Amino acid sequence: MQNKVSTEFQQEENYFDFENAFSAKELPMIKKLQNNAKNHADKATNTNSVLDKDIYDWLSQQDMPTKNHINGLLRHIMDMNLRLA
Output the pLDDT for position 47. Answer: 57
Output the pLDDT for position 7. Answer: 58
DSSP annotation string for the chain: -HHHHHHHHHHHHHHS-GGGPPPGGGSHHHHHHHHHHHHHHHHHTSTTSSS-HHHHHHHHTS-HHHHHHHHHHHHHHHHHHHHH-
pLDDT tens sequence across 13-30: 567 777 777 777 778 888
Output the pLDDT for position 38. Answer: 81
Query: Which stretches in the chain have pLDDT values below 70?
Result: 1-14, 44-48, 85
